Structure 1
Amino acid sequence: MIFNKPLDPYDFFLQSEDKKSHILFSFKDIELERSKSINYLVHIKDDQFAGQVEIWIDHEELYNFMEGLLKAENSEVKLIHLKAMSTEEFEMTFVDQKMGHYEIAYSIMNRRYLKNRLIETTLKGSFDYDSEFLNQLKESLKGIQKLLS
């Protein structure tokens, strides 16, 4: 499954250089009154592995992630993080390898109950980000920030 365009104006998509892996953030909902945050279904496909989790991201976390990406090209920023409000559910880090080349490391965890037992499933991995899409990602994040403002 490869997307050329996000499905919704508030979706965003990260693809590997080899086109075998991706992370798709599908917009679900937004909370503006109590705690400004945005709800996504995050689908990860990493070569032969796949998983998904529904998460909430605080608007400040998303803003800091966007600012980190904007500053990374002009500074010595090496790690740029994005975490869900429940950090064990989702965590992603852009690792600046060199001159606009990034590796994306991620971790998602899904919890469910089965026969009165808690089952936790975790998917962790990383892939080289196709930085050809970096400007498109930045523009998507700016649009999402406007929605949360």
Structure 2
Amino acid sequence: MDLWVEFKDDLYRKKATVASPHDLQSLKLFAEFIGESTPGVLDPSGKPTVQTVRNHFRRFVSGWSQKNPDAIISRDHTDPVTNDLKTRIRIKLGLSSMTRTRTYITLENYMYLERQLWENDPHDYVHEAYRVFISAKLKDHLYTPARLGE
């Protein structure tokens, strides 16, 4: 949300207009602003990835919706911005398309998760069956066909 305030001030200084999150053009300019002000980690030249900028934009939209429940930003505005990020903004700013290498859960990590759930979890569950359900979800996710190939 702080980035939005900085963007509004910057846009007002440049064009003497007021930015609104309900204006599609303002949101596209804001997505560009995010891309320009976010440092990259994966790319050697320091450019952020498209996914990083998309995540920052989604976090802004979620934060705006939480702080302003009566003025939620509609999907009619967020979807075009997301598509614009993948095409025009990516080319204009030279955003990286690199991705991190996938890491998978190991038996050691899984055992840690189960131990945390059954031995060290300070949460007071209304019913102890919830712990069983959470454990079952962990096992279900771990043994899906996609995971078995790993």
TM-score bracket, shorter-length normalisation: under 0.3
TM-score, scaled to structure 1: 0.27
TM-score, scaled to structure 2: 0.27
Indicate the structure with greater strand content. 1
